[in-house]
Amino acid sequence: MLIKGASLLRDGGLCQDMDIMIEAGHIVRIGERLKAEDDLVIDAKKMLAIPGLVNAHTHLAMTLFRGYADDMELMPWLQEKIWPLEARLKEEDIRWGVKLGCLEMIRMGITCYNDMYYFMDETARATKEMGLRAFLAGVIFDMRPEFLREAEPFIQRWKDDDLIRPTLGPHAIYTCSEETLIQVREIAKRHEVPVHIHLSETRREVDTFVNQRKMTPVEYMDSLDLLGPDLIAVHCIWLSPRDIGLLAKSKTTVVHTPVSNLKLASGIAPIDRLLHEGACVCLGTDGASSNNSLSIFQEMKTAAITQKNVWGPTTLMAEQVWRIATDNAYRAFGLNMGLREGAFADLVLIDLRRPWFWPATNMHSHLVYSMMGGVDTVIVNGRVLMRHGQIPGEEEIIERAQKQFLDLTSR
Ligand SMILES: [Zn+2]
C-alpha cells in the first residue's frame, strides 16, 4: 500500500507531498515520489498524516450507557444507575457496546485503547473484528472473587495475539484487598503484563484511606511494590507532593481523564506538577457513560485549558499536549508507533480542507485547540478501517447497539 502526497508534521511545520509505503503491517518507507509496488494507492493530497491516537483509559462496552444517566453525584450515579445495569449485562451487550465505541474511536483517529471491564473475551473478539489494537483487562474486585481466578487464563488465551495485549485490571484500592493486589502483582510479574488501576480519584477515597491506613493510596501502592513503568494509574487527582514525586520517580504511567473528571466534579489533577517532576502522563476518555465522548482531541483541549486555569496560561503548551497524546502513550504502552520507517502502520489521514485548520499558522495549535473533525482515513496494522469517512458495517452496528440498549434496559 502506498499513501501518496500526504502532509506530515515536522518540527512544528508541515512537510508536504510525502509518500508513505506500507508492507506487512509496517511503515517501510517515507519519502518523496515513491513508486507503488502493488495496486493499493491512497491519494492523500490535502491530507495530514498523523500516527494513530491512543485512548489510555476507557470502559468501551459502557458506550451502550451513553446518556443513560447524567448530571448525578458519583455514588448515587453508580449505585442507582450504573451498577444495576451492569449486573444485568450479557455478552451480546458487550459486543455491540464495544463495536459502537470502536466506530466512534475510529472516527476520532484512535487506533489503540486501554480498557478494563467485564466479558473481556467478547471485547477482544469484537475489537479484532473492528480492527483496532487494544490492551484489555478483566476487572478484578473482591466482591466477585472469580474475576481474579479468571485473570491468568485470560492472559494465556490472548498473550500471542497480534492486536490484543492482555493486562490485569484491579478496579481500585477500596474494592481490592491487599491480598488481591499482591496476587495481581505476582501474576503481572509472571507474565510481564501491565497492571491497570483507578487511583486517587476522589477526595473521599483518599481521605478515608489516609484515616484508616495512615498513608496515601500512592504510598500504599509503593509499599506493595506496585509502582513502576508497568503500572497504569488512572485519575491521580488527589495527590500529595510526596505522591507526585513517587509517581514520577517510579516512572508509573499516569492517565489523565480531564473531561470525565470535570463532569463528575472529581477535581483537577495536578498534571502541571507531575510533568514538572518528570512523570509519564497519557490521556484517556474514561467510559462514554461519564464523558460522554471518546475523543482524545477533546481530552487534549480540556487538559490544556483546565491546567492553564489552575497554573497559568503558559502551562501545557499545544505542542506539549500533542506529545502527551502521542509519544508519551507510545512509550508508556511500549507501542512501536510514530510516523517513521519500521513502526506499525497505524495511522490517520485528516482532511485539511476544513475551516478550523485555517489560516495555516500552527498545526499543533489547530490539532489541540480547534480540531472539530475531518478524520478521513484510518489504518491499523496496515488494514484500512475507514476510507473517506466510510466504515463498512457502520449502519448495522448502530442499529444493533440501539436494539441491545433497549433489550438491556427492559431486561
Ligand atoms: Zn474508569
DSSP SS3 for 276: helix
The protein residues having their C-beta less than 5 angstroms from ligand 1 (an ion) are 286
Closest by CA to 159, choosing from 190, 182, 186, 131, is 190
Give DSSP secondary structure letters for 139-176: EE-TTSTHHHHHHHHHHHHHTT-SSEEE-BEE-BTTTS
- CA–centroid distance, 367 to ligand 1, in Å, is 25
Structural domain boundaries in the chain? 53-66+93-332
Q: In the chain, what percentage of residues exceed pLDDT 90?
A: 96
- CA–centroid distance, 78 to ligand 1, in Å, is 12
pTM, two decimals, is 0.98
- CA–centroid distance, 16 to ligand 1, in Å, is 39
- CA atoms of 134 and 99, how far apart (whole Å): 13
Task: Inform me whether the pLDDT recorded for 12 exceeds 80.
Answer: no
Task: Write the pLDDT tens digit of every residue in 111-157.
Answer: 999 999 999 999 999 999 999 999 999 999 999 999 999 999 999 99
Task: Inform me whether the pLDDT recorded for 38 exceeds 90.
Answer: no
Say what the pLDDT of residue 5 is: 97
Task: Write the pLDDT tens digit of every residue in 55-113.
Answer: 999 999 999 999 999 998 888 888 999 999 999 999 999 999 999 999 999 999 999 99
Greater model confidence, 12 or 212: 212
CATH topology assigned to domain 53-66+93-332: TIM Barrel (3.20.20)
Say what the pLDDT of residue 70 is: 93
Task: Write the pLDDT tens digit of every residue in 226-245.
Answer: 999 999 999 999 999 999 99
Say what the pLDDT of residue 180 is: 98
Phi, psi of 27 (to 5 degrees): -80, 120
- CA–centroid distance, 116 to ligand 1, in Å, is 8
Contact 355, 371 (CB under 8 A): no
Say what the pLDDT of residue 84 is: 93
